[in-house]
Amino acid sequence: MDFEDFDTRMKGRAEAEDCPIPQDFEKRLEMRLEELPAQARSKKRLGRRIIAIMAAVLILTGSALAISPTLREQLSRALGLFEPYTTPIESASAVDQGIKVQILSAMADDYTVHIYLEIQDLTGERPMKHILDLLTDSFVPNVDNEIQIRWGGTKLLGYNEKTHTALVDVYTAGEDYRSLRDWNLRIGGISFYSENKVETIYGTWELPFTLTALETRTISLDAGDHSDFHTLKISPIGLVLEGGPDSFPQATEAELIFADGHTESVEQGSGAGVMGQTISSWYFSEPISPDEIVRVELPCWTITLNSEDQGSVTRK
């Protein structure tokens, strides 16, 4: 394929469509690629091919996704450097109780998934801009068992007053998501704040989609110094520390030490004990390259990840 010709034709289509390429699109994309860590930066060599393909996606899916330029910009701004790690989702939508829910994109690692939704009130009477929560209880793969959600939340990212459409991030953590390729997000209700009270619209919104979890670095730990920590998982978007019945959740800040010597702090994590094990998780403010981390420092523990002593846990 002649990508220069393809780029020219797509820009011509953009001028005739209601969904033009945003101003300075190429410049912003090049800047975004320059800021990525090494793992994602390798994609930069595609150069104008990426720009041409992304321009085509904007043009050809603009009407199908039904995102206004304002919401599109808000989604891109909210994702920041994580945007290249998301997967665009097409044709995943459901309508019930006068509310349309559509998946725009998603991002997952072994333990956590973020699903970016457009929620539109087709009646124009309900304040979706005050949306509080989506009642999601499970992901249902195309097998007999369900993948239960252990915890999650809903975050409003933007709102279009004209179309009564909210842009929402639904994030959940649960069982091991590595086995999932075919997903089905099940929503049983939508809660929002209206006239000084919380209202919930109950219904059924089931949205099947395909998503592959990001590659994760998994390190077996030696449970040293009676820590009972046995596994550490690091993806570009976060890390998870798993322990046995004698371990304690680590809802603390963490320090990541990289091979080049620089250190990055990770905000306070969350931890819980579930069925005889503990799971502690942290989420990064910017994506990282998992293979470049050589040590994780917690307030009471040091976890060594370099090749000489990988997987050792020592008490401070």
pLDDT digits (tens, 9 = 90+) for 113-138: 899 999 999 999 888 889 988 988 65
Q: Which residues contact 105 (CB under 8 A, 6 or more apart)?
A: 75, 86, 87, 88, 89, 116
Tokens of 214: 């990001």
Residue type, 148: Q
Residue 233 to residue 109: CA distance in whole angstroms: 9
Return the pLDDT at 67.
54
Return the pLDDT at 180.
75
pLDDT bracket for residue 217 (50, 70, 90): very high
Out of 89-103, 261-275, 276-290, the most confident range is 89-103
**Distance of CA 27 to CAs 21, 22, 23, 33, Å?**
12, 11, 9, 10
Lowest mean pLDDT among 56-60, 116-120, 188-192, 210-214: 56-60
Q: What's the distance, CA 43 to chain centroid?
A: 19
**Distance of CA 61 to CAs 72, 89, 185, 205, 275, Å?**
12, 10, 21, 22, 44
Residue 222 has pLDDT above 90, yes or no: yes
Q: Does domain 85-210 have CATH number 2.30.30.90?
A: no
Question: Could you tell me where in the chain the CATH 2.60.40.1630 domains are found?
Answer: 85-210
Q: Is the pTM of this model over 0.85?
A: no
Return the pLDDT at 13.
46
Return the pLDDT at 3.
44
Who has greater pLDDT, 221 or 66?
221
pLDDT bracket for residue 20 (50, 70, 90): very low
Residue 108 to residue 89: CA distance in whole angstroms: 13
Residue 202 to residue 66: CA distance in whole angstroms: 24
Q: What angle do CA 301, 302, 308 make, to 5 degrees?
A: 150
pLDDT bracket for residue 306 (50, 70, 90): confident
Residue 16 has pLDDT above 60, yes or no: no
pLDDT bracket for residue 144 (50, 70, 90): low
Q: Which of 171, 172, 175, 40 is nearest to 110 (CA)?
A: 175
Lowest mean pLDDT among 65-79, 105-119, 273-287, 299-313: 65-79
User: What count of residues does the chain have?
Assistant: 316
Residue 12 to residue 100: CA distance in whole angstroms: 31
Who has greater pLDDT, 150 or 202?
202
Q: Which of 17, 117, 6, 120 is nearest to 61 (CA)?
A: 17
Q: Are 303 and 264 in contact, with CB atoms under 8 Å apart? A: no
Return the pLDDT at 44.
43
**Distance of CA 41 to CAs 84, 114, 171, Å?**
10, 22, 26
- Determine if residue 299 is left, alpha or beta; phi over 0 gives left, psi from -120 to 50 gives alpha, anything else beta: alpha
Q: Are 107 and 238 in contact, with CB atoms under 8 Å apart? A: no
Q: At what angle do helices 25-35 and 48-65 cross, to 10 degrees?
A: 120
Lowest mean pLDDT among 58-72, 106-120, 179-193: 58-72
Return the pLDDT at 73.
86
Q: What is the pLDDT of residues 145-176, one digit of tens each?
A: 555 555 678 999 999 999 999 999 998 876 66
Domain spanning 217-315: which CATH class is it, in words? mainly beta
- The SS3 of residue 234 is strand
Residue 7 has pLDDT above 70, yes or no: no
Residue 291 has pLDDT above 70, yes or no: yes
Residue 238 has pLDDT above 90, yes or no: yes
Residue 259 has pLDDT above 70, yes or no: yes
Tokens of 294: 């050589």
Residue type, 3: F
Q: What's the distance, CA 234 to chain centroid?
A: 14
In percent, the amount of the chain with pLDDT more than 90 equals 46
